[in-house]
Amino acid sequence: MEVHMLNSAPATNTQPQLQSNDYHQLPVTEKQLSFARSIAQRSGIVLPWDVQQDRHRLSRWIDRNQGKKRETSPFDDYPSSKQVAFAERIARYKRSEVPHECFKDKSLMSRWIDSNK
What is the average per-residue pLDDT within 29-35?
A: 92
Inter-residue contact 26 to 57 (CB < 8 Å): no
Cα–Cα nearest to 68, from 104, 95, 42, 46: 42
pLDDT at 92: 94
Contacts of 90 (CB under 8 A, 6+ apart): 113, 116, 117
96 φ, ψ (degrees, to nearest 5): -140, -175
pLDDT at 76: 80
pLDDT at 45: 86
Q: 11-15, 44-48, 57-61: lowest mean pLDDT where?
A: 11-15
Amino acid identity for residue 65 in this structure: N
What is the average per-residue pLDDT within 9-30?
A: 61
Question: pTM (2 decimals)?
Answer: 0.43
DSSP state of 84: H
What is residue 86's three-state secondary structure?
A: helix
Inter-residue contact 11 to 38 (CB < 8 Å): no
Inter-residue contact 33 to 59 (CB < 8 Å): no
What is the average per-residue pLDDT within 32-37?
A: 92
Cα radius of gyration rounded to whole Å, the chain: 30
pLDDT at 75: 79
